[in-house]
Amino acid sequence: MSEAPVIHIPPDAEPSAFKRAVKATARFAALVVVSPVFVSFWLNAALRGRGLALESHSQLLSLWPGLMGQYLRRAFLQQVLAKCHPTATIEFGTFFSQPGAILEENVYVGPRCILGLVHLQRDVLLAANVHIPSGGMTHYFDDPTKPIREQGGERRMVTIGTGAWIGTGAIILADVGKGSIVAAGSVVTKPLPDNVIAGGVPAKVIRNRFESVETHETDTSDV
């Protein structure tokens, strides 16, 4: 039986001066196009608060498909989030709920992600349908005499470390270390260290990212 073909994806090349100029022009055009949304956002923020205004307006902009949508979302988020670097990419269907979110250089956020109070450090990759709410205690539930919606909660910044990769459908409730990989469908409930591969519900460290599979299996069998 023949092996399935493997398609290698080359790394991104450094853009030429012409491409940089085109991108700069596109960013300015996106800023102009999205300016009415800014006006609507600030009016809503004055009436309802910045969090609710951000959630509704980022949902609206999440519906723009393709490259134009990427530019419009970035132009908007650069003005309303704590930080959104000009090189960050936010794909279709993704929306934000907390204006304190931070997106650093070369961050990629895949389609249909839902992000709260999150700090995505440089070169972080989020696959599709990743959920990162504002920590794991956004709702208290200890008082049996009150409905959960009346018990309040707390928000905390969830940090995804530089160069980390979060797989499709993962739910991240705690910090993820630099260079770490979280497997698709995992639920991270406790902080993960740097440069590990983790997976499961709840997520546990499978091995060090730079440890060979053969070495890990040998060490495990000796325990």
Residue 76 has a pLDDT of: 94
CATH 2.160.10.10 residue ranges in the chain? Answer: 83-223
- Render each residue's pLDDT in the chain as its tens digit; 223 residues: 556 666 666 666 666 777 777 777 888 788 888 888 888 989 998 999 898 999 999 999 999 999 999 999 999 999 999 999 999 999 999 999 999 999 999 999 999 999 999 999 999 999 999 999 999 888 888 888 899 888 888 889 999 999 999 999 999 999 999 999 999 999 999 999 999 999 999 999 999 999 876 555 555 443 3
Architecture of domain 83-223: 3 Solenoid (2.160)
Residue 222 has a pLDDT of: 39
Question: Do residues 29 and 74 make contact, with C-beta atoms less than 8 angstroms apart?
Answer: no
Q: Single out the catalytic residue among 57, 119, 131, 139.
A: 139
CA 121 to each of CA 72, 102, 109, 148, 156: distance values in angstroms, whole numbers, following the listed order: 21, 8, 12, 33, 16
**Gyration radius of the chain's alpha carbons:** 20
Residue 196 has a pLDDT of: 97
The residue ranges of DSSP E strands in 18-133, in sequence order, are 83-84, 89-90, 95-96, 102-103, 108-109, 114-115, 118-120, 125-126, 131-132
In 3D space, the residue among 60, 142, 171, 208 whose CA is nearest the CA of residue 76 turns out to be 60
Residue 110 has a pLDDT of: 97
Active site residue 139: yes
Residue 148 has a pLDDT of: 87
Residue 221 has a pLDDT of: 41
Q: pTM to 2 decimals?
A: 0.84
